[in-house]
Amino acid sequence: MTKIAVFRTDASSLIGSGHVMRCLALADSLRVNGFESIFVCRRLQGHLCEYIRNKGYDVEWIDSNDDEFRPESDAIMTKEILARVASPIAWLIIDHYGIDRNWEIQMGSLANRILVIDDLANRPHLCDILVDQNAYERMESRYKDLLPPQCLQLLGPGYLLLRPSFYEARKSLRARDGSLRRLLVFFGGSDPTNETAKALRALARRADDEPSFHTDVVIGSANPYRGEVTAMCAERPYAKLHVQAENMAELIASADFALGAGGVAMWERCYLGLPSAVTVVADNQAASVRCAAQTGAVAYLGESAETNADTYARAIEKALESPSELLEMSKRALEITESRADRTESPVASAMLEMDRRG
């Protein structure tokens, strides 16, 4: 009998794509284990519903008149969808900063179990599993008094939500030598502060028309500056643009250094040992980026309001001049994510399956 997992998450030009992308990673891992997944999303500007469908998952809409999230009405509409799409639902998976215990308790008996993906630790939850894949100081106590006593907490980058392609890439990961032959530029799906353009301006300042390295530039389909970035890449034969890339694991594994944002993408880079200079583009990224930088897993460039083309030009020059530092950063990145070549399955999916087996 096929088990059903329902994901309640959103993406938009304002929210970004990170919530949906990490849910898709978990859905892919669950599919390997016989689950069918359904996504419940609001119809916001920059939503990724067609992308989700193209990945092979059904999407149920919650219509929204504006960007404001109203938990009471959202809970009512979600309950209606849950009651209609499947019975029973094995797992309800929630990745949404606007949802808390009050919303979760209204789901009643419609789902056998609830898993919450969070990284804010600023509101109570009623769930069976809480996943926070980020690194923080005093991580073990972050959710004190916010969860039921029996809740299983999966905390830290050892519980990264990764697509199966990342485990495959890790198996055959090449040994980097500290030289910069290939640069990756990716500041998240929406990149609201247009860090990508700043990085491309930094590249344009280099004296030679064709730098000694190739550059892969990745943006999401919801990037509001897509036209500008496309034009800038067209002017630079050494820069290749990828829109809504399906091969992120391959791009990360083949790169020697990256300029990027915090969040999901930072941990994906760390898992494959890619040294990177990181800019905080959203408030919720700041603490985990600083923590990763303190361990030496990334270089911290500051917040987006503090960065410009000069910032990225200096980061590139430092990478070119410091192969030993890149090698050390790669080592620290693998360590902080507990990255291993023998891992074949998401530890989060494994915990869910084990809980199901125990009944």
Instruction: Give pLDDT tens digits for 55-86.
Output: 999 999 998 778 889 999 999 999 999 999 87
Q: Exposure string (b/e) for 167-197, b if CB count within 10 Å is 16 or more?
A: bebbeebeebebebeebbbbbbbbbbbbbbb
97 close to 126: Cβ distance less than 8 angstroms? no
Instruction: Give pLDDT tens digits for 32-57.
Output: 999 999 999 999 988 889 999 999 99
Q: Rounded mean pLDDT of 286-293?
A: 95
Q: Which part of the chain is CATH 3.40.50.11190?
A: 3-163+344-358
Q: Rounded mean pLDDT of 299-318?
A: 97
**Helices (H) then strands (E): counts for the chain:** 13, 13
CA distance 253 to 248: 8
Sign (positive/negative) of CA torsion 133, 136, 137, 140?
negative
The pLDDT score that the predictor gives to residue 262 is 94
Q: Rounded mean pLDDT of 200-222?
A: 85
**Is residue 209 pLDDT above 70, yes or no?**
no
CA distance 313 to 283: 24
The pLDDT score that the predictor gives to residue 208 is 61
Instruction: Give pLDDT tens digits for 111-162.
Output: 999 999 999 999 999 999 999 999 988 888 999 999 999 999 999 999 999 9
The pLDDT score that the predictor gives to residue 210 is 62
The class level of CATH for 174-336 reads alpha beta
Confidence of residue 237 (pLDDT cuts 50, 70, 90): confident
Average pLDDT along the chain: 94
Q: Which part of the chain is CATH 3.40.50.2000?
A: 174-336
State residue 335 phi and psi, 5-degree precision.
-70, -45
**Architecture field, domain 3-163+344-358:** 3-Layer(aba) Sandwich (3.40)
**H helices of 33-136, where?**
49-54, 71-85, 101-105
CA distance 198 to 313: 9
- Output 17 or 230, whichever has higher pLDDT: 230
Q: Which of 165, 215, 222 is nearest to 189 (CA)?
A: 222
